[in-house]
Structure 1
Amino acid sequence: MPNRTIYVADADLPIFEKAQRLAGGNLSATIAAALRRFVEREEARQAGFGEVTVRVGTVARVYKRFLGRLLARGLSRQPERGREMLYRVYLTRKGKFAVYVREGPDWNDWRYWSRQDCQSRGWACWPQDYDYRLEVYDSLEELGAHLPAELYEAVCQVIKADQEDDGVEFLDI
């Protein structure tokens, strides 16, 4: 295996020494792993992708992170349930579709207010009325079965524009 020389500024020497201690003496493998992560993130950034962090869960919530690019977002109301669904659709770095869904009460629906005992529940309980989900789909066709029609059409238009140009519709006005 060829040797490579890395010149380290005096000010950066403590961090290299600490990294070598933490790596158990194998600083070369640590540097290679860090460079792989750097190259992956930088290539993704140059391709228009960024880190997306979302919270998932209803009562106990955790955070998930992925590399993605926002394609579309939309709101769908379900009056029969007194609920609303806020969608954010991302294209992931690996070509999948990640859909972040926030489902909660439709506060614009007066029927929801009449069903709730706001005095007994109190303001502090209301965040528990929300469910946050991250759903991942392998194909555009699979995605279509899980989105409102209008939002799915918006995603299809963005994908088509991406294939034709840079993903931005040019208006000749």
Structure 2
Amino acid sequence: MPNKTIYVSDEDLPVFQRAQELAGGKLSTAISVALRRYVEMEEGRQEGYDEIIVKVGQGTGQKKRFSGVLLGEWGRTQGSRVEMFKVYRSRQGRYVLHLDRSPDWTDNSGAENWLEGLFSRGTWRTYLGLTDSTWGFIQGEATLDVVDTFEELRGKIPDEFYDLIADLANRPAVEDLDI
């Protein structure tokens, strides 16, 4: 195996030492992993792709990272929830759907609808600080779905959104102009 000499400045030495510790004592492993990730991300960036980080799960959830380009986003309300759809094309040509659903808010004012609740006697007493406000919510959630073809998104996203981004699905992430 060929040897490569890397010169490290005194101020960077602690970083290299920490990387070696994290890699189980093998600095070459740490450097190889870092360079692999750098090359992958830089090639993707040059091709027009971004590093995408999304939250998945309930509450704070877990973060997922991939290289992709955003094709579009669409929001709608469903009852007392807001749903936000984002569709990406990954660097490998797959399609990624990130769906973020807001918490389900409930109002305990006893009103039949929000307008009635806004002007109710109990609401005004809360506004004036004469009584405590009561409200609650059920935790929201976010999901990530990866499909091989754009057509597999049909039925997973609103039809209007599907039609809006269908034309974008096959376009390159970056178009080089000779101008």
1:23 to 1:134, Cα distance in 2 relative to 1, 3 A: closer
Indicate the percent of aligned positions where both proteins have the same amino acid: 38
Contact persistence 1:73–1:89 (CA under 8 A): yes
Q: Which residue, 107, 123, 141 being the options, matches 1:131? A: 141
What amino acid is the match of 2:144? L
Does 1:140 pair with 2:122?
A: no
TM-score with structure 1 length normalisation? 0.72
1:19 to 1:64, Cα distance in 2 relative to 1, 3 A: closer
SS in 2 for 1:63: strand
**Which residues in structure 2 correspond to 1:14-163 (within 5 Å)?**
14-59=14-59, 61-78=61-78, 81=79, 83-104=81-102, 113=114, 122=135, 125-126=136-137, 128=138, 130-162=140-172
More helix by share: 1
SS in 2 for 1:10: coil
TM-score with structure 2 length normalisation? 0.70
For the aligned residue pairs, the C-alpha RMSD in angstroms reads: 3.3
SS in 2 for 1:57: strand
Residue ranges of structure 2 left out of the alignment (5+ in a row): 107-111, 118-122, 124-131
Deviation at 1:48, TM superposition (A): 1.9
What amino acid is the match of 1:157? D
Structure showing greater Rg:
2
Report the count of equivalent residues: 157
Ranges of 4+ aligned residues in structure 1 off by more than 3 Å: 81-84, 104-107, 111-114, 118-121
Deviation at 1:85, TM superposition (A): 2.5
Deviation at 1:97, TM superposition (A): 1.2
1:106 to 1:40, Cα distance in 2 relative to 1, 3 A: same
Contact persistence 1:77–1:106 (CA under 8 A): no
Q: What do the CA deviations read for 1:62-116 (whole angstroms, capped 9, x no partner)?
A: 32222221111112444xx555432111112222211111234599xxx8748x9
**In 1: Cα distance, 2:15 partner to 2:82 partner:** 49
Which structure would you say has the larger RCO, counting Cα contacts within 8 Å and 6 or more residues apart?
2
1:60 to 1:15, Cα distance in 2 relative to 1, 3 A: closer
What amino acid is the match of 2:175? D
**In 2: Cα distance, 1:112 partner to 1:70 partner:** 37
